[in-house]
Amino acid sequence: MTHYAIANLSNVRMGAEIVEYLERIDATLAPYDGHFIVHGNQPEHLEGEWPGTLIVIEFPSYEQARGWYDSPAYQEILPLRTGNSDGVTMLIEGVDRDHVATDVLG
């Protein structure tokens, strides 16, 4: 089942370390078939406020998502981001295209 790595970053301190992180992250995703589906675009706020920037990366499976996050290549660059921003990061399973809202009741 498709899994997503989701982050909400705030207080990003742009500088050489964040630039290096951005230059290197794509190479860490490739072996796990991960790719960005949301990254850095400004949302249109319809209700409420969302502090920060949303990032969503799609992976074909949990194993690939977790493998990417735990990989030596990603762990090597992770401090470049965590040392220069605040945020929350998580992995979450997606749903099938035939999912309906009431599926969560059963």
Q: What is the pLDDT of residues 13-55, one digit of tens each?
A: 999 999 999 999 999 999 999 999 999 888 898 999 888 999 9
Q: What's the CA dihedral at 41, 46, 47, 50 to 10 degrees?
A: 10
What is the predicted pLDDT for the residue at 51? 87
- Share above pLDDT 70 across residues of the chain, in percent, rounded to a whole number: 100
Amino acid 55 reads I
Nearest to 37 by CA among 58, 21, 66, 52: 58
CATH number at residue 30: 3.30.70.100
What is the predicted pLDDT for the residue at 16? 97
Domain that holds residue 70: 3-44+52-95
DSSP conformation class of 11: S
Count how many domains the chain has: 1
Indicate whether 82 pLDDT > 90: yes
DSSP conformation class of 97: T
Flag whether 100 is in a domain.
Answer: no
Q: How do residues 66-78 score in pLDDT, each as one tens digit? A: 999 999 999 999 9
Indicate whether 4 pLDDT > 90: yes
CA 59 to CA 52: how far, in whole Å?
Answer: 23
What is the predicted pLDDT for the residue at 42? 86
CB 38 within 8 A of CB 54: yes
Indicate whether 106 pLDDT > 90: no
CA 10 to CA 85: how far, in whole Å?
Answer: 6
CA 69 to CA 28: how far, in whole Å?
Answer: 9
Flag whether 32 is in a domain.
Answer: yes
